[in-house]
Amino acid sequence: MLTTATGIVSVLFLSPGAWGEAQPQKVALTSRSITSYSSSSWLKRRGLSPTNVPLQDFFKGTDLQWYGNISVGTPPQVLPVVFDTGSTTLEFASTQCGQPCTNQIQFDTTKSSSFVAGVVNTSLVFGTGGGVDPVVGSNYKITIQSGKDTVEIGGLKADNVDLFLITNQSEPFAIDPYSGIQGMGATAQGLFAALVSQGLPALFGLYITPQSVGGAELTLGGVDNSKFSGNLTYAALPPRSGSTWQLSSPSIAVNGNTTSVLTANRTIIFDSGSSNLFFPKATTEARRIYLDISDIQPNTNEPGAYGIACDRVSSLPAVIDFAFTAQDGSLFNLTVPSSELSVGPFANDPSTCQLLINALEEASIVGGSLFKHYYTAWDIGGQQIGFASLSAKAPAPSSSPHSSGQALRSNWIPLSVVTLLISVVTLL
């Protein structure tokens, strides 16, 4: 989930350390499995052992986002949140939101003895709501208030974690089955920084699965070896990536074929809070890719969206290979299979299916539709992302039932700490 933000540099200089950015630490890759941590006395001395958090799929005609429980406050109140690699902060519905948050579990600050209210009141507008439920003006907006409280996740606990209460939200958020968002950006902040300072290794693993498979899981402080086979292939984040998980890609191929437009170097953002793929509208990439698949046309009613008759989708080959450079210099592909092409019928035109790729943002973004097909390791300490094939025990995702139900994609583009920092500075 991303929001567009400007003015990052001056803001970061104005407010150094206020957000408690943890210093990345190097951790040996070979000892990063759940199994080796739990069986090693050396590792126990580190303070915290890796932990698994079960995740649930928000499915609405297609797989959208993956969320799991955290507990906030004293005594703890359980709140489901999306784990979003595209943002860095924690925010969730509070009882101050009331009616607009009726469908969400709301945190009640008056029932927590450890809650401390902050001084920041601000709002965030999401740049993309995406898919068949388009962003129009500022229809994806939350109002938030800062605070601190004790947060617990997967049995790990941290005190005085910076967070935001959602005090109002616009209507499109009403359907969300979760209360908020836990940012999982490439710098450890808030909850994750606190856990790392207690000795948790600065990495996490994501096993996100289609609804038909289930059993999705976040591993904090390690990776879950039982979910993948072979070794993880790691690729390094470019220098100065900040909190953005991103990798350089020298080429994209569609159905095994590429073109000069698709062989330009580009930086691709890895955002678990988005389900669609995005390519900048300033360039022709989305259009080019669709022409390589078939005679697919933009949907003139929904900026950035493309569609084709639903009865044609299943017959279209649409294998998209993204090439990346591994730490050893070799190239490897991450592949989005044809089964991901359709995200379901448009609300205003049910015979036409919306397709996976949007031309909307000034950035290239991959999300859940790609991550479902790999085990992913997000290594903050080593500033790299690892990918492995899913293990046979963990069934490979099959095609989701894309053809029924109205798809409603929550392709928000993050809620970056930058936006929040700007707001803080503006307000103070």
Ligand X SMILES: *[C@@H]1O[C@H](CO)[C@@H](O)[C@H](O)[C@H]1NC(C)=O
Contact residues toward ligand X (CB under 6 A) are 54-56, 68-69, 78, 80, 96, 100, 119, 121, 141, 145, 167-168, 170, 230-231, 250, 253, 256-257, 259, 265, 321, 323, 331-333
Nearer to ligand X, 114 or 170 (CB): 170
CB of 298 to ligand X, least distance (A): 20
d(CA 83, CA 89): 10
Between 69 and 112, CB nearer to ligand X: 69
Looking up tokens 């988005």 gives 274
Provide the residue type at 167 as one letter.
Answer: T
Question: Any idea what the Cα angle at residue 323 is, between residues 321 and 324, rounded to 5°?
Answer: 145
Cβ at position 171, least distance to ligand X in Å? 7
- Phi, psi (deg, nearest 5) at residue 156: -100, 145
- Answer whether 4's CB lies under 8 Å from 415's CB: no
Smallest gap from residue 137 Cβ to ligand X (A): 10
The smaller minimum CB distance to ligand X, of residues 138 and 351, is found at: 138
Residue nearest to ligand X (CB): 253
Residues 401 and 352: beta-carbon distance below 8 Å = no
Q: How far is the CB of 331 from ligand X (least distance, A)?
A: 5
Least distance to ligand X, CB of residue 67, Å? 7
Tally the residues of the chain: 428
Closer residue to ligand X (CB): 69 or 354: 69
CA 123 to each of CA 5, 74, 154, 164, 336: distance values in angstroms, whole numbers, following the listed order: 13, 27, 29, 11, 35
List 87's β-bridge partners, or say none: none
Q: Which of 281, 289, 283 is nearest to 254 (CA)?
A: 289
Query: Least distance to ligand X from the beta carbon of 238, Å?
Result: 8
Nearer to ligand X, 169 or 299 (CB): 169
Residue type, 240: R
Residue 152 or 402: the one with the smaller Cβ distance to ligand X is 152
Q: Which is nearer to ligand X, 136 or 331 (CB)?
A: 331
User: What CA dihedral angle connects 129, 339, 237 and 201, to 10 degrees?
Assistant: 90
Closer residue to ligand X (CB): 23 or 138: 138
Report in angstroms how near the CB of residue 287 gets to ligand X at its nearest.
13
Closest CB to ligand X among residues 47, 317: 317
Shortest approach of ligand X to residue 416 CB, angstroms? 21
- Termini Cα distance of the chain: 26
State the DSSP code for 398. P
Tokens of 258: 């590429």
Tokens of 163: 């967070």
Q: Look at residue 357 and give its three-state secondary structure.
A: strand
Strand (E) or helix (H) holding 34: helix 34-38
Rg (CA), the chain: 21
Please choose, from the candidates 346, 339, 354, the residue with its C-alpha nearest in 3D space to the C-alpha of residue 406. Answer: 346
Task: Name the minimum Å distance from CB 291 to ligand X.
Answer: 8
